């Protein structure tokens, strides 16, 4: 056993959510310990690394983290029908490992202590002489802190200790040499993959990130996917697995504890994207943690009021639920209806609206503008009766996921 450590805040998970928060609160004078089970933060990469340009409005990053930008998305259906849509804000393709390590180094440089290769296993709150302390146990030692933050990703143990079991879709991804124009991504939708999609994302150097999130038979489906793309073994550089989180838990704040990032369900269910969402939420998390220390109030009530129920986190939750709603509707479409909706995306008016209002983080404006276009209703009307028929099923699925 190693010697025990004391700190103000103990963060579990040293990837983007953990390190960015650690950096922000440590810059404000708190002593922070990060427990990370991997020996090198950010490795292995479990991400396709595509984010909207909003990233650089939220955080300052080293420009070398952005390795490519894309302006077109090809949507490809089961029977090979293709529709290309322009992506308004030319999303960034990131060197995800570099992003995680950027904040890790920044945090470490200002004194955050990282316990790498150390797995968190439980925490308890003890009271001694009327003073409460959070006692965090890893395989190697005990850490005493005023509070704990669960940034431990989709399989978050901190969340599980509070009875939260996230709904996850397994994903596989390879980096491979693949002849894809550097400015376009491809998204493949097949009914049998149920629940997510396949993607090809160019790094801009002749190498692509090719992945699939799929609820059933992932291994076989992924093998079939890369065989269909004619990718041979010798073209594959590396392989990763990962879990994409779907849904949003009812609780993310507890006595002397909060959740952030994937651990808190902060992922968009349409795209599986979580980076921008968690970085935004991290600013609220920072404020609330600093406030808790200044008031010496670490109660569940304080964290629920000022974090879980804060206007920023509520807005974020509504947006995540909207993405989930869009996803449930997409899943309810038959193949034929799906093809119809692709036809809708093909219309010049839709493309114009996409260019003007398309936003991979906030789709509400685009959806609203589409619904206002009477000339597009002849396409919408073809799928609407079927959607209306399925309203009870859609609502049931929506309610199930939004209340776990
Ligand atoms: C295949 C795939 C593709 C994706 N593509 C995109 C994309 O293109 N764009 C986008 O925005 N988002 C994408 N995402 C989502 C994005 O990767 C996540 O939202 C983001 O990584 C969440 O960051 P995090 O720090 O909250 O969690 P994670 O990145 O999961 O980090 C959690 C950390 O906690 C550590 N940990 C877990 N348990 C313990 C423990 N018990 N003890 C110690 N340490 C522990 C883990 O080792 C890990 O380092 C993708 C996800 C997957 C799986």
**pLDDT of res. 371:** 72
Whole-number percent of the chain with pLDDT over 70: 93
Give the highest mean pLDDT range of 108-117, 334-343, 361-370, 376-385.
108-117
Q: What is the mean pLDDT of residues 22-45?
A: 97
3-state secondary structure 348-377: HHHHHHHHHHCCCCCCHHHHHHHHHCHHHH
More reliable by pLDDT, 214 or 15:
15
Above 80 in pLDDT, residue 150? yes
More reliable by pLDDT, 90 or 151:
151
Above 90 in pLDDT, residue 388? no
Write the CB contacts of 137 (distance below 8 Å, at least 6 apart in sequence).
120, 121, 122, 123, 124, 143
**pLDDT of res. 351:** 77
Separation of CA 235 and ligand 1 centre (Å): 26
More reliable by pLDDT, 314 or 339:
314
Above 70 in pLDDT, residue 349? yes
Using the Cα atoms of residue 189, residue 190, residue 191 and residue 196 in order, give the sign of their dihedral: negative
Above 80 in pLDDT, residue 266? yes
**pLDDT of res. 402:** 59
**pLDDT of res. 23:** 98
Q: How far is CA 133 from the centre of its chain?
A: 31
**pLDDT of res. 246:** 86
More reliable by pLDDT, 390 or 80:
80
**pLDDT of res. 18:** 98
**pLDDT of res. 404:** 65
Distance CA 134, CA 112 (A): 18
Residue of 218, 273, 320, 323 with the most ligand 1 atoms within 8 Å of its CB, for mutation:
273
Residue of 119, 152, 173 with the most ligand 1 atoms within 8 Å of its CB, for mutation:
152
Identify the residue whose C-alpha is closest to ligand 1 atom 18: 274
Residue 336's φ and ψ, nearest 5 degrees, are -65, -45
**pLDDT classification of 403: cutoffs 50, 70, 90:** low
More reliable by pLDDT, 227 or 196:
227
Residue of 10, 200, 213, 272 with the most ligand 1 atoms within 8 Å of its CB, for mutation:
272
Q: Which atom of ligand 1 is nearest to the CA of 13?
A: 34
Separation of CA 344 and ligand 1 centre (Å): 34
Distance CA 192, CA 135 (A): 46
Above 80 in pLDDT, residue 111? yes
**Contact assessment for residue 181 and residue 207, using Cβ atoms and an 8 Å cutoff:** no
Ligand 1 contact via 249 beta carbon (within 6 Å): no
- Whole-number average pLDDT of the chain: 90
Lowest mean pLDDT among 12-21, 126-135, 144-153, 367-376: 367-376
DSSP-derived pairing of the beta strands 207-213 and 167-177: antiparallel
**pLDDT of res. 374:** 67
**pLDDT of res. 293:** 98
Lowest mean pLDDT among 18-32, 38-52, 231-245, 374-388: 374-388
Angle, vertex CA 217, rays to CA 211 and CA 221, nearest 5: 45
Identify the residue whose C-alpha is closest to ligand 1 atom 52: 47
Lowest mean pLDDT among 76-85, 197-206, 265-274: 76-85
Above 70 in pLDDT, residue 4? yes
Write the CB contacts of 363 (distance below 8 Å, at least 6 apart in sequence).
270, 322, 323, 326
pTM, two decimal places:
0.92
Distance CA 96, CA 45 (A): 7
**pLDDT of res. 195:** 67
């Amino acid at each position: 056993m190693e010697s025990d450590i004391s700190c103000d805040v103990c963060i579990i998970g040293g990837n983007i959510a953990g390190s960015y928060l650690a950096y922000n609160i440590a810059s404000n004078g708190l002593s922070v310990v990060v427990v990370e089970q991997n020996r090198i933060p950010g490795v292995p990469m479990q991400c396709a690394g595509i984010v909207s340009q909003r990233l650089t409005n939220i955080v300052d990053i080293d420009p070398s983290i952005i390795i490519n930008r894309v302006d077109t998305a090809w949507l490809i259906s089961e029977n090979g029908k293709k529709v290309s849509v322009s992506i308004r804000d030319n999303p960034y393709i990131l060197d995800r490992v570099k992003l995680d390590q950027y904040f890790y180094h920044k945090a470490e440089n200002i004194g955050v202590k990282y316990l790498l290769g150390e797995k968190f296993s439980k925490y308890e709150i003890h009271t001694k002489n009327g003073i409460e302390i959070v006692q965090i146990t890893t395989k190697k030692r005990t850490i005493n802190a005023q509070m704990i933050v669960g940034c431990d990703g989709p399989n978050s143990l901190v969340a599980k200790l509070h009875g939260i079991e996230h709904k996850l879709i397994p994903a596989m991804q390879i980096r491979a040499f693949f002849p894809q124009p550097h400015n376009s991504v491809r998204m493949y939708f097949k009914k049998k993959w149920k629940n997510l999609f396949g993607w090809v994302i160019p790094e801009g150097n002749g190498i692509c990130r090719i992945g699939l999130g799929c609820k059933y038979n992932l291994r076989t489906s992924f093998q079939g996917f890369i065989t269909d793309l004619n990718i041979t073994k010798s073209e594959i550089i590396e392989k990763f697995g990962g879990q994409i989180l779907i849904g949003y838990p009812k609780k993310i704040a507890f006595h002397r504890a909060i959740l952030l990032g994937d651990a808190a369900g902060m992922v968009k269910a349409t795209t599986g994207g979580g980076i921008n969402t968690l970085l935004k939420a991290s600013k609220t998390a920072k404020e609330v943690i600093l406030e808790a220390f200044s008031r010496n109030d670490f109660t569940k009530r304080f964290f629920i009021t000022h974090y879980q129920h804060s206007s920023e986190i509520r807005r974020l939750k509504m947006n995540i639920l909207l993405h989930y709603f869009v996803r449930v509707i997409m899943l309810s479409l038959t193949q034929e209806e799906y093809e119809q909706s692709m036809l809708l995306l093909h219309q010049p008016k839709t493309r114009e609206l996409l260019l003007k209002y398309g936003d991979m983080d906030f789709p509400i404006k685009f959806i609203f503008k589409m619904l206002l276009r009477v000339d597009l209703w002849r396409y919408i009307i073809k799928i609407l009766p079927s959607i209306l028929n399925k309203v009870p099923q859609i609502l049931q699925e929506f309610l199930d996921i939004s209340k776990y």
